[in-house]
Amino acid sequence: MSIANNIKKYLEILKPFGAQLIAVSKTKPNEDLFEAYEFGQRAFGENKVQELTEKAEVLPKDIEWHMIGHLQRNKVKYIAPFIHLIHAVDSDRLLKEIDKQAKRIERIIPCLLQVFIAKEESKFGFSEEELLDFLKSEAFKSLKNIKVVGLMGMATNTDDMQRVKKEFTGLKELFEQVKTEIHSENLEMKELSMGMTSDYQVACEVGSTMVRIGSAIFGERNYI
């Protein structure tokens, strides 16, 4: 099945849930991205800054680039001018650096805060307590060049969909709690990024607004 047909399939699946498809294009050649683009896909997810900047330089300028991987503070400056959304903001120090770089170029950069919901040490993110404390702090409210527009989480990599559903449900409940209880000019809770190729259906049932799908669209990943 072609890339275009794969995208069509997932758009149809996601439509009843109102979830946006983020086509995870990491390690994929520009030709593959352009085939998806020609079909109408505009939101692409990358997890490495160098690859992201190289693709952004040569591919159409109306692409919405999503940084979905772990982002190092010293690399924020390279994507700050054009990034559409940073999904995996996993610490207050990283958010402060994004704010600093955004201020330098007079932008407000939309971000999602990553919450640690999995039973795996390899995952990153705020704990629930850390997240709530930070969002209530004056340090957070003082950040004028970022806008936190929601949360992001990665479930445990397991075939146990009951566990996955429990983790996603907890994140959805935290999302609603923040939306209800915390008010700040730089906070607008509207996006919940959760769900990948293996667990997007459960994520959508729980309330995901963005799913990140790669291999099911572009084929198996090329490890480089």
Q: Which DSSP string do the residues of 34-89 spell out, in sequence order?
A: HHHHHHT--EEEES-HHHHHHHHHHS-TT-EEEE-S---GGGHHHHTTT-SEEEEE
223 within a domain of the structure (yes/no): no
151, pLDDT greater than 70: yes
Total structural domains within the chain: 1
Q: Which residue carries 């693709």 as its tokens?
A: 55
What integer is the mean pLDDT of 178-184? 97
169 domain-assigned: yes
Distance CA 224, CA 204 (A): 31
CA–CA dist 52, 110 (Å, integer): 17
Instruction: Report if residue 38 sits inside a domain.
Output: yes
Confidence of residue 221 (pLDDT cuts 50, 70, 90): low
Which structural domain range is residue 77 located in? 3-217
Does 224 map to a domain? no
- Position 219 scores a pLDDT of 87
- In the predicted model, what is the mean pLDDT of the chain? 95
What pLDDT is stored for residue 123 in this prediction? 65
- The answer to whether residues 65 and 82 touch, using CB atoms and an 8 Å cutoff, is yes
CATH number of the domain that residue 91 is part of: 3.20.20.10
pLDDT value of residue 122: 61
Bigger pLDDT: 166 vs 220: 166
- Over residues 1-11, the pLDDT tens digits come to 799 999 999 99
Residue 207 has pLDDT above 90, yes or no: yes
pLDDT at site 159? 92
In angstroms and rounded to an integer, the radius of gyration of the C-alpha atoms of the chain is 17
Which pLDDT value is given to residue 120?
Answer: 64
160 domain residue, yes or no: yes
Question: Distance (Å, rounded) from C-alpha 49 to C-alpha 22?
Answer: 17
Is 137 within a domain?
yes
User: CA-CA distances (angstroms) from residue 76 to 46, 48, 68, 72, 182?
Assistant: 14, 11, 13, 7, 27
In percent, the amount of the chain with pLDDT more than 70 equals 96
Q: Would you say 35 and 2 are in contact if contact means Cβ atoms under 8 Å apart?
A: yes
Residue 222 lies in a domain: no
Q: Smallest Cα–Cα separation from 210: which of 8, 23, 1?
A: 23
Contacts of 220 (CB under 8 A, 6+ apart): none
- Residue 13 inside a domain? The answer is yes
